[in-house]
Amino acid sequence: MTQRPSVDAPGSNNSMMRRLVSVLRDPVAWILVIAGIVEMISGGTAARGAVLFAAAGLILADRVRLSRGKPVSPLAATTLQEALAPHWWPLLLVAVGVAVALLREHTLPLTVITGSIGIALVGWAWLTGPGGDTAAPSPGRSLLWWGGLFLALGLWELTALLGQPTLAVYSAEHPTISFLIEPILATFPGRAVAVGLWAVAGRSLVRRA
Amino acid sequence: MSWRTVTLVGYTVIAIAGLTLEVVARRTGTIATFDELIRRLLRTRSGRIALFAAWAWLGVHFLG
């Protein structure tokens, strides 16, 4: 008697379907994709959308590898963390922020600087991340509270965005956070503080990762 | 009341809610503080990539 192949055998339709579902079920990737689409249709530059789409792509790539049973082998995160450890780093980053703020906002040089550093650190986070998600403790109720807060902020911002004449044209009657911050970033001190804070926040993330 | 005022009040309420959440988290310990939440999310691959992407996006959105 001939033995029939199992429906879950590698390569079978059922097995491929399960793998596809396991790849696509990560909500974080889809949140990033949706955020990227909103960014692009609301007048954002390609660089802004690219950061979000690239991050979603990395998460999906992880899922593909895990679904194939291939463990993700992380690199050591300590090298960069140790390099950023000294206490004088925040002062240096603020100084760099002041220097970088000499450039006008929303110009190519500033886009290249922030984009390059941002993409480099997203790549670093991907390469040095934990091997899987299973060992991590679930934030549970905390994530519900904090997630609810950020969801409320996102929906309120979206409401203001939809109240504009078009998605790409600001309205003083329906101010978005970008619209409110724009006058501050247009000044050199405001831009210096913003770049410095962004750099210090990046260092803080690397140190905690 | 104009739409502008309503919108600004909304942002203020959300900011106060965030500060309240942080104070409650620090005093009661029943939920994670913002810092603890970030640390926990950084221990997962998806959370880690999303946090760094959000940080990078803030840079290119407001500055770049």
Nearest neighbour of B10 by CB, restricted to A130, A156, A208: A156
* pLDDT tens, position by position, B5-55: 999 999 999 999 999 999 999 999 889 999 999 998 888 888 899 999 999
Q: Which residues of A touch B29 (CB under 8 A)?
A: none
Q: Does B43 touch chain A (CB under 8 A)?
A: yes
Secondary structure in 3-state letters for B20-43: HHHHHHHHHCCCCCHHHHHHHHHC
Residue of A nearest to B5 (CA): A173
Residue of B nearest to A33 (CA): B50
Share of chain B above pLDDT 70, in %: 100
Chain B nearest-CA distance from A3, in A, is 41
ipTM value of the model? Answer: 0.90
* pTM summary value: 0.81
Q: Which residues of B touch A22 (CB under 8 A)?
A: none
DSSP letters for A86-142: STTHHHHHHHHHHHHTTSPTTSHHHHHHHHHHHHHHHHHHHHTS-S-STTSPP-HHH
Give the per-residue pLDDT at A3.
52
Measured between its terminal Cα atoms, the distance across chain A in Å is 57
d(CA A8, CA A6): 5
Contact B64 A111 (CB under 8 A): yes
The CA dihedral of A18, A19, A21, A23, to the nearest 10 degrees, is 160
* pLDDT tens, position by position, A50-81: 888 988 888 888 888 777 777 666 677 777 88
Cβ atoms A7, A18 nearer than 8 A: no
Give the per-residue pLDDT at A127.
86
d(CA A169, CA A161): 9
Per-residue tokens: A75: 């690199």
Q: Is A25 helix (H, G, I), strand (E, B) or coil?
A: coil
Ordered per-residue pLDDT tens for chain A, 209 residues: 455 545 455 556 666 677 667 667 778 888 888 888 888 887 777 778 888 898 888 888 888 877 777 766 667 777 788 788 888 888 888 888 888 888 887 888 888 888 889 999 998 888 887 765 554 555 678 888 998 999 999 999 999 988 888 887 888 899 999 899 999 999 989 998 899 899 999 999 998 88
Contact B48 A143 (CB under 8 A): no
